[in-house]
Structures are given as structure tokens and as C-alpha cells.
Structure 1
């Protein structure tokens, strides 16, 4: 699974809401990003790289945010949809590698974490109402493995 498009190409009629940042750090790697606030991130090691290194959608709760992000997923030709439940993700990706739980003041998030085909990291966050509210996918082999391993260690430490 890879993504080749730029965020600006997904929503070209709304280009004023996208901020470009050339010294953005994602998973310890400095590179180029397209951002909509801090809720939507498209990250590449270099702006000229064909494929994305990572995408991240955080705290997607409102009807408008869900529709907007689902539109982006449609443009990316991903079968993921915000608002879906855990069973739909398991049907698409199989059994998770591990589950991580994070509790915030406003919500409990259960992240179903995958390392797909040894080069793609995927994390799907579900709110306490069991609906998808966060998606992170890393398509860069080195970044994917590093993030998978480091977060698994942290997740296991918090289980104690």
C-alpha cells in the first residue's frame, strides 16, 4: 500500500487551508509536510519524492471532519472510512499486531496497530464509542519498523 498524491491535489479547491512546512519532523525524520492544522498531515522526506512517507489524521469527530477526511481517503483510493467500527478495520487488515490504549481527559482511544507487509505501519484509533477517529499510516520501511517497535515497547510498559 502506497500513496502518491499531494494533499493539495486531493482538495485543490480549498488550497488556502493547507500549510506547507519544509522542516517538519515526523517520527524523528525531518522533511516536507502538508498540514491542515494538526489534524491532517501528509509527510514526505523531500517535497519531490513521489510517494508519501506518512499520513496522519487525528481527533476526527465532527460530521464535517468525517466527511472531509473520507473524501480525502476516497481520493487516495483507500477503503478506510472515518466512523467505521473495529470489525470493519479487522475485515480489511486482519488481526492487529497489538492494541495500545491511551486515555485523554476527553476520550479513551484504543489503537489497533499493524505492521503490514514489513514496510507499512498502520494505526487505527477508536474512541470510547468504538468509532474510528484516528488513522496513521507510514509507508517508509525504516520509519514504519522504528515506529512499530518503539510504540510497542511503550504500549507494553503501560500495561504493567
Structure 2
């Protein structure tokens, strides 16, 4: 049977408190594991009345924390449609010709992978770019790592907030408006 929380009486002072353990997913956002608030009374009837108000206030704080967590999760996500628009815009308007001009998208991915390897201090295999390879040379590389493999590992292993921050050096130019 589930027991409702009730005012807690301090054994030494006799003052009543609201005492509640926070759910694990809210602890980081609220900055603590539990909440203890004095109801500033020794009267049991008054403590029950104040407890209801204090508990309702705490529930509102917890709902606000839930909303902040949900908003951050949405901010960390990029929809496929938004990603396509960003990449297309970068390739069309911002990518300069040069060393990677033959493979602009692969050059960007390789740069992301190299940055992520350094930031996360990992040993993901980093594939070389097919600079001046002939079709035969490209076919011979089948089965070997290709640009993008390492980046997919990074995206799978780290939360979006971490890999977006790690790739900020590269993405600042892409997202710049």
C-alpha cells in the first residue's frame, strides 16, 4: 500500500517539516536529493494545513523543473528536416573551394570526426578522404572505414549536448546566420 506523505515532526525541537525525496531525474535540475522545509509550527493541526500549501508549492517547482528538462531535450535535438536545410545551405553558400572541394560534405564530416576524436580523447578509426582516387581505388577501399563511420559512433555514444559542444568549432560556421 502506498503511504501519503505527511508532515514530519522533528524529534528534538517538535517543529513540523515537509520532507520529500526528489525523483532521480529531477535531482540534477533541482540541485539536491531531497527537500526539507520547516512549517514553523509545533501545532499538529496547523502543520497539516501548512503542509498542504507547502507541498503544492513544491509540486509546482517540480513541474517547472520537468518543463526545463523537456525544453533542454528539445533544444538538443535537431530534426532531419532542419539538419538537411543547414547542410544544404552550408554546401551551397559557405563551403569554399580548396583541399576538400571535390568532396565538401565528406570534408566537413572528416573535420567533425577529427575534432570529436581530440575533444573526447578517443581512438575511433578516422578514415582518410578519397582525394584524387580513381573509381578503381575507391572500389578497393570497400569494407574499410569511410568518413562518417567515426561520427556515427560519436553520435551514438554521447548525448547531443556533449557532441554538439565538442563539434562547436566546426558547427559555428554552419549555424552562423
Report if TM-score (shorter chain) is over 0.5. Answer: no
Query: Normalising by the residue count of structure 2, what TM-score does the alignment of the two structures yield?
Result: 0.21
**Structure 1 or 2: more strand by fraction:** 1
**Structure 1 or 2: more helix by fraction:** 2
Query: Normalising by the residue count of structure 1, what TM-score does the alignment of the two structures yield?
Result: 0.23
- Bigger Cα Rg: 2
Determine which structure has greater relative contact order: mean sequence separation of CA pairs < 8 Å that are 6+ residues apart, divided by chain length: 1
